[in-house]
Amino acid sequence: MKPTLFILAAGMGSRYGGLKQLDGVGPAGETIMDYSVFDALRAGFGKIVFVIRKDFEEEFREKVLKKYEGHVPVEVVYQSVDKIPEGFEIDPERTKPWGTNHAVLMGKDVIKEPFAVINADDYYGPESFKVLADFLGSVEGKKGEYCLVGFNIENTLSENGGVSRGLCHVSPEGYLTDVKECHGIERKDGRLIQVVDGKEVDFPEGAAVSMNMWGFTPDYFDYSEKSFRDFLRDNGRELKSEFYIPSVVNEMIEKGLATLKVEKTPSRWFGVTYAADRPATVAQFRRLTEEGLYPEKLF
């Protein structure tokens, strides 16, 4: 059974100023998501699932999904603030959904095979999808054996400001011990720094970081549901609390319920964290096309 690619596309991209998931950055107007789908299919994935917000479904189907017809089976699921377990109430003033692991939970009814989770607005590179597909092919029918694709921090920086990345702490055997969210990471005057409590401090050179590229088996949904209930009991009345993938993963590792192999990739990330990143991203896709890594038109 081929693994499924689950793309998180429900965010607005507030810093970028629009629906960056639908922004054409490739030579023929391809979105970053199109490159992820293309790379995933080459690597051996067999189905694509998107999680989106219902309010831009029409535009999404017109601009994105139409082009995949005849290439790969596609399903769409929806994330909204009111999709919570029975017995819980939310503050009526809350408008924002519950974060990345809440988005993952939206796929429970349509994903029954090993699956990868990625962001819609990040370019991960062909090698990353290959290591992910190989790993997922090895864990079919198993439980609690997951993976994270680890990028070298140097390959994930933006020239237009600090970025947030998940710093991976990795055992000598190559397994994740925990992932910690770090902010404001950039190279300044030759120094790699992050911002902690408003101060610039060193960030470890050559560290493996998470770009939200995960590999799971379907049992992850079951634990996530339980964890989400716990989360809502503790944080459900807050207006901005979020239920993140790294929080659930760290919890499972700590309790000995799962292992996460850190699969290293040589790929260089790029994306559109800031609007100023767009010209460089367009130029990168043009260069990769000219070098023959991608055809002039993907689909």
16 — pLDDT class (breaks 50, 70, 90): very low
Q: How much is the pLDDT for 21? A: 58
Determine the Cα–Cα distance for residues 56 and 109; give it in Å rounded to an integer. 21
Specify the higher pLDDT residue, 58 or 151: 151
Helix (H, G, I), strand (E, B) or coil at 214: strand
Angstrom CA distances, 8 to 53, 89, 168, stand at 10, 25, 21
d(CA 46, CA 244): 26
Separation of alpha carbons 292 and 84, rounded Å: 46
Q: What angle do CA 110, 115, 119 make, to 5 degrees?
A: 95
3-state class (DSSP) for residue 276: helix
State the distance between the two ends of the chain, measured CA to CA, in whole angstroms: 24
Residue tagged 């929806």 (tokens)? 78
Which domains, and CATH codes, for the chain?
Answer: 4-290 (3.90.550.10)
Q: Which two tokens stand for residue 215?
A: 């590999």
In whole angstroms, what is the distance from residue 270 CA to residue 293 CA?
A: 16
Give the pLDDT score at 13.
44
SS3 (DSSP) at 32:
helix
Res 20: pLDDT: 53
Tell me the pLDDT tens digit for each residue of 119-175: 988 999 999 999 999 999 999 999 999 999 999 999 999 888 899 999 999 999 999
